[in-house]
Amino acid sequence: MREPRPVTEVPDVVGFEAGDACEIVRRAGLVPIGPDGEDEPTTGIVTAQRPVGTAGAEEGTPVVLWTHPGKDAAAELDAPSPVKSAVPV
């Protein structure tokens, strides 16, 4: 029979930058991963997680983090060039 692992509180990392969120999750004794078993996210802002923050989980439990590119990605996009209006202003 296996020994039960200690239970820890899952930190709520929604709204954090991905790198910071992963570090917080690891410090709680949990394992950050991306959706569908992908590697942990390294960029973007965490928009959702499972298990949810403040839930209890055994140490070593994976915590799935979903991210959105965030404000840094917007800076990398090319802005459309202005178009002259046919109507005089």
Mean pLDDT per 10-residue interval, the chain, length 89 residues: 88 97 98 96 96 95 94 55 58
pLDDT at 83: 59
Write down the domain spans for the chain.
7-71
Q: What is the DSSP string of 3-56?
A: PPPPEEEPP--TTSBHHHHHHHHHHTT-EEE-GGGPPPP-SSEEEEEESPTT-E
pLDDT at 34: 97
pTM given for the model: 0.76
Q: Which pair of tokens denotes residue 61? A: 């439990």
pLDDT at 58: 96
Rounded distance, CA 21 to CA 67, Å? 10
pLDDT at 5: 87
Specify the CATH number for 7-71; select among 3.40.1190.20, 3.30.10.20, 3.10.20.30, 3.60.9.10: 3.30.10.20
